[in-house]
Structure formats: structure tokens, C-alpha cells
Structure 1
Amino acid sequence: MPKNLSILVVEANPDKARQIIDALMAAGWSDVHALAQISGLERSIKMHAPDIVLIDLANPDRDTLEHLSLISDTKARPVAMFVDQTDEDLTQAALTAGVSAYVVDGLQMNRIKPVLETAIARFQLMRKMQSELDAAKRALEDRKVLDRAKGILMRQRGISEEDAYSLIRKTAMDQGRKVIDVAQALVTAADLLS
């Protein structure tokens, strides 16, 4: 794990916050900022732009977890949360909020580094999976548009599917455009004329 990560620590107890910062620095991270109240999280994230957020909460509640997902931009950075106690609903709420690591039984200094490493790895995996899912959805939508454009040409010109695709492809090459852009323009024009 890179040593030049910027880490934001949210811990209400100043002594415990100092212990966490010391543990992070002992692990090789020097760009560490502390925040005493979760209510200031949004402002601190804008100010410090951390690579990861570490939150220590004794007793989380659903409102805090929902607020966390809104202000910490869990899609942009991993969030590791240490809690003293939880239940099934709170655990699910934390996962829904995008928390990358949710550790029950509190924060122990010897677990900080492996938990952060796990949070980052899980965050990167989830980001990769989301990217692949988005690409698959785009490809499926593009396929539908292309099939629809071919169908329009097949009906209007009385040509085969292969000839319809060739015509779309040739038009795209002649105009220096992507095949999907030509297909979308054809579908849009057909929708306007129908």
C-alpha cells in the first residue's frame, strides 16, 4: 500500500485520535489529519481531499450512516469504520452507505494497517466491478440501438441485416464518426419522422 496516502481520521476522543495518528505514522503514513466531529466531515474532505477516511464510532446509528454516505463521497474514496457494537440492520446500512471496511469490536491499533489495506483493496475491487458493469450496460444499450437502426434500414430499403450494418458502417467511416453515433442518429431521425 502506498505510503503517500492522505488519511482523514474521525475520532471524538483527542487521546484516542492521537494514538491513531501515532499508529498511522508508525506504519509509514505522514499525511494524516484528525477531525473530532463527524458533522465536520464534508468540510474536512473538501479541505484535505483524503485518499481514505477512517472513522471510529462507539455507537453508530442509521442516521449517521446515511449522512456518511452523502457527505463522504464513498464512490470517490474508501471509508474504514470501526464500531464498538452493531446489529444486522446497522451493518447493512454501513454497506449500503459504501463503507469499504466495517470492523466491529472497536479500533485496535495493531489492526489499523491491515484494515486500511483491506478497505483500499475492497474499494478498488468494487470500483473495477462497477466500471465493468457500466461498460457492459453501455455495450448492451449500444447493441440495442444498432439492432434498431439495422431494423429501420431493413424495412425502409428492403435490405438484409448484413447490408444494413454495412451501410451504417460505411456511413460512419465516410463521416469520420463511430458506428454507434450513426446508428443513434438514424434511430433519432426515425423517431422524429414517425
Structure 2
Amino acid sequence: MRILLVDSNSRRACEVQAGLEAAGFQVVAVSADTADLTRLVRESQADVIVCDLDDPSRDALESMRVLNRDEPRPVVVFASRGEPDQIEAALEAGVAAYVVEGLAPARVRPVLEVAIRRFRAFQALRNELDEARATLAERTLIERAKGVLMQRRRLSEGEAYRLMRRWAMDRSQRLVEVARQLLSEHDAK
């Protein structure tokens, strides 16, 4: 597993890197801060980001939020303090695990494994939600297009739907594509 390590303390970063490598992980990059975290992840092709931070700053959390949006990866934060609002902000930024009282070598592997599983489960839910939203948007377009046909041609709902299906089959298009074309023609008039 390829890890990007973020730690502002270079001596501690060396110790953490040694601990991660001893636990069987490959540290592919080390950074002193979270600035441009997305670029670092792309360049290093890291699978997981481990941040050993004394006190995660607002900028660090924003970098994690951008990373979660643009290049989603499991992010594990080991912090020396854990104020409830800080933990909540980190989780909202997409952090998969927030561990207080620093990084202990014996806990590294289980924490990373749990974080990765939690991240994957969350990504699966996010993908399902995106698919459901896309399906709903397509159905809404089809319903609007049926309404236009029903009004223009004085058709029943079933007749409008069958006509759109026939057009879709004749043109080798999806029903939603026919609906988009019909609505764009209607809106142009």
C-alpha cells in the first residue's frame, strides 16, 4: 500500500516513516504540510494519506476537503489534540479516521485498515447516491418530455411514452436522449 506521509516535524516524520515501513507499508512521499495535497497525491499516486499533525489547521482541513472532492483517498489524521469541533470539521472534510494522542506504531496497521474499509464503504454510498440522483434527473426529463408530447399532440401518457420509446429505438438512442432533444426543440420555440 502506497502512503503519502504529511508531518511538519522532520524528525518525527522520519520516525513515523520507519514505523509505517516496518508495518509493511510503502511510503512514496513525505511532505511537511498539506498545501497542494491533491497535486502531491496525483504525483505520488498514493493510496492512503497519513497526516501526523499537532493541531490540524483550517488550511489543512480545506486541503483535505479539496482532495476528497477531486482525488478521493482515505485520509488518516493522527493528532495530539482532539477537540470535538476539530474532529467534526476533520470528518466533514473527508477524513476517514482521526486518532488522538499521536501515532503509536502498534496501532498503525489496524487504524489504516479500518480507515480504508470505512472510506470504501463511504465511497460506495456516495456512488449509489450519485447514481440515484442521475436516475431521478433522467426520469424527470422523460416525464417533462412526455408532458410536452401530451400537450402538443393531445396524447395520453401511455401513448406519449410509447412514441418516445419508438423514436429512441428507431434512432438507436436512449430514451433520455430523445427526451433531451424533444425538450431542447420545445424550449427553442
Q: TM-score, normalised by structure 1?
A: 0.87
- 8 Å Cα contact 1:21/1:32 also seen in 2: no
Name the counterpart of 1:64: 60
Name the counterpart of 1:47: 43
Query: Deviation per CA, 1:79-134, whole angstroms, max 9, x where unpaired?
Result: 10011102122112111211111111211111111111111111111111111111
- 8 Å Cα contact 1:41/1:72 also seen in 2: no
Seen in structure 2, the aligned counterparts of structure 1 residues 192 and 41 have a Cα distance that, compared at 3 Å, is closer
Alpha-carbon RMSD: 2.0
CA distance in 2, matches of 1:142, 1:46: 33
**2:3 match: secondary structure:** strand
CA distance in 2, matches of 1:12, 1:100: 20
CA distance in 1, matches of 2:33, 2:151: 65
Aligned residue among 155, 169, 173 for 2:169: 173
Q: CA deviation at 1:40?
A: 6.5
Superposed, which structure 2 residues align to 1:99-110 within 5 Å? Answer: 99-110=95-106
- Given the alignment of the two structures, is residue 29 of structure 1 paired with residue 22 of structure 2, yes or no? no
Aligned residue among 138, 144, 150 for 1:148: 144
Query: Deviation per CA, 1:23-64, whole angstroms, max 9, x where unpaired?
Result: 222222234432233346455334312111100011223333
Seen in structure 2, the aligned counterparts of structure 1 residues 106 and 74 have a Cα distance that, compared at 3 Å, is farther
CA distance in 2, matches of 1:86, 1:55: 14
Q: Which amino acid aligns with 2:76?
A: A
- Given the alignment of the two structures, is residue 187 of structure 1 paired with residue 183 of structure 2, yes or no? yes
- Given the alignment of the two structures, is residue 83 of structure 1 paired with residue 79 of structure 2, yes or no? yes
Q: Which amino acid aligns with 1:13?
A: N
Name the counterpart of 2:127: 131
- 8 Å Cα contact 1:82/1:104 also seen in 2: yes
CA distance in 2, matches of 1:166, 1:33: 58
Q: Which amino acid aligns with 1:130?
A: R
Q: CA deviation at 1:72?
A: 7.0
Which range is displaced more, 38-47 or 156-165? Answer: 38-47
Seen in structure 2, the aligned counterparts of structure 1 residues 180 and 28 have a Cα distance that, compared at 3 Å, is same
Structure 1: runs of 5+ lacking an equivalent: none
Structure 2: runs of 5+ lacking an equivalent: none
**1:38 match: secondary structure:** coil
Query: Deviation per CA, 1:137-186, whole angstroms, max 9, x where unpaired?
Result: 11111111111111111121122111111100010000011111001111
- % identical equivalent positions: 39
**1:70 match: secondary structure:** helix
Q: CA deviation at 1:74?
A: 6.7
Seen in structure 2, the aligned counterparts of structure 1 residues 144 and 37 have a Cα distance that, compared at 3 Å, is closer
CA distance in 2, matches of 1:73, 1:6: 20
